[in-house]
């Protein structure tokens, strides 16, 4: 099945108003590759300003609370992100699962809340180096995916991002064979829960994707795009990744 490639930059805790020219430049590059869906998940402080500059790229958030409002100091609801101009949001990133102790159930609740607020969702899963070295990566990550999957999961509002934790920001990536095997395992796991909808679901690769390796990674059968970290911070670096998807 042909699935439109999705390439999303995750700026993490990077970016000030002085960097909004990069958002505008990336939007122009996205317009040159209409076959690719392109987005930037930015710090919340930039979402409203960036929405006016996004061009052909969408703007997203990096996390949301599962409640719509309440006594949750420092948190943002999905409704707040949507009002600011976000169209997508990331949930379950390993940097939150590990550093913030987020559970699979919390990730599922965040995804459901985002969908209820009209946002589309990128749900992240991935394994540690210890799990990879022990030989149980596919089983562990597949189980994590199913435990994090919200009710009513559908390809028109949800995408999955496989991010081997040990590859994020390190410059290391799994072998192409390992990426192919994991993505196939995740699609098979999805099929046990959502049936034929699994064939429509986009599964992204994240973890040190850049202009040098993006074409090879996205040529793999079940890799439908990328969730890109450091290489998405400038148009000069992100542009080649977008081009590789198109």
Asked if residues 196 and 135 have their Cβ atoms less than 8 Å apart, the reply is no
User: Has 163 been annotated as catalytic?
Assistant: yes
Q: Has 10 been labeled as part of a binding site?
A: yes
Over the stretch 174-197, which tens digit does the pLDDT of each residue have? 999 999 999 999 999 999 999 999
Q: Has 12 been labeled as part of a binding site?
A: yes
Asked if residues 136 and 129 have their Cβ atoms less than 8 Å apart, the reply is no
What is the pLDDT confidence band of residue 97, given thresholds at 50, 70 and 90?
very high
Query: Looking at 22, 65, 79, 93, which residue is catalytic?
Result: 93
User: Is CATH 2.60.200.30 the classification given to domain 6-245?
Assistant: no
Strand, helix or coil for residue 158: strand
- Please give the share of the chain, as a percent, with pLDDT higher than 90: 92
The pLDDT value given to residue 148: 98
Over the stretch 146-164, which tens digit does the pLDDT of each residue have? 999 999 999 999 999 999 9
d(C-alpha 44, C-alpha 39), whole Å: 15
User: Has 93 been annotated as catalytic?
Assistant: yes
Q: Has 152 been labeled as part of a binding site?
A: no
d(C-alpha 169, C-alpha 157), whole Å: 27
What is the pLDDT confidence band of residue 168, given thresholds at 50, 70 and 90?
confident
Over the stretch 6-35, which tens digit does the pLDDT of each residue have? 999 999 999 999 999 999 999 999 999 999
The pLDDT value given to residue 229: 96
Over the stretch 107-157, which tens digit does the pLDDT of each residue have? 999 999 999 999 999 999 999 999 999 999 999 999 999 999 999 999 999
Q: Has 67 been labeled as part of a binding site?
A: no
Query: Looking at 37, 95, 127, 163, which residue is catalytic?
Result: 163
Domain coordinates of the chain in residue numbers? Answer: 6-245
- Residue 216 has phi, psi (to 5 degrees) of -65, -45
d(C-alpha 102, C-alpha 109), whole Å: 11
d(C-alpha 62, C-alpha 40), whole Å: 10
The pLDDT value given to residue 183: 98
C-alpha pair distances (Å), 67 with each of 8, 83, 86, 98, 117: 25, 15, 17, 21, 11
Over the stretch 204-220, which tens digit does the pLDDT of each residue have? 999 999 999 999 999 99
Q: In terms of Cα–Cα distance, which of 29, 17, 1, 18 is closest to 9? A: 29
The pLDDT value given to residue 69: 97
Enumerate residues 6+ apart whose C-beta is below 8 A from 100: none
What is the secondary structure of 92-140 as a DSSP string?
--HHHHHHS---HHHHHHHHHHHHHTT-EEEEEE---HHHHHHT-HHHH
- Answer whether 0.95 is exceeded by the pTM: yes
What is the pLDDT confidence band of residue 1, given thresholds at 50, 70 and 90?
confident
């Amino acid at each position: 099945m042909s699935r439109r490639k999705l390439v999303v930059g995750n700026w993490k805790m990077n970016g000030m108003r002085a960097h909004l020219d990069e958002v505008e430049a990336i939007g122009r590059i996205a317009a040159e590759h209409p076959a690719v869906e392109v987005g930037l998940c930015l710090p919340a402080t930039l979402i409203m300003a960036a929405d006016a500059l996004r061009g052909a790229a969408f703007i997203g958030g990096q996390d949301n609370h599962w409640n719509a409002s309440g006594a949750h100091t420092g948190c943002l609801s999905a409704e707040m992100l949507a009002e600011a101009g976000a169209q997508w949001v990331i949930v379950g990133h390993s940097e939150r699962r590990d550093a913030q102790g987020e559970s699979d159930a919390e990730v599922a609740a965040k995804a459901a809340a985002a969908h209820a607020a009209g946002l589309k969702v990128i749900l992240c899963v991935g394994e540690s180096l210890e799990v990879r070295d022990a030989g149980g990566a596919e089983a562990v990550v597949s189980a994590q995916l199913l435990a994090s999957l919200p009710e009513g999961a559908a390809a028109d509002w949800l995408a999955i991002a496989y991010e081997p934790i040990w590859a994020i920001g390190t410059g290391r990536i799994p072998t192409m064979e390992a990426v192919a095997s994991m993505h196939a395992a995740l699609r098979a796991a999805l099929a046990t829960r959502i049936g034929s909808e699994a064939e429509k679901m986009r599964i992204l690769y994240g973890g040190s994707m850049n202009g040098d390796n993006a074409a090879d990674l996205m040529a793999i059968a079940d890799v439908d795009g990328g969730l890109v970290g450091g290489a998405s911070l400038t148009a000069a670096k992100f542009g080649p990744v977008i081009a590789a998807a198109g």
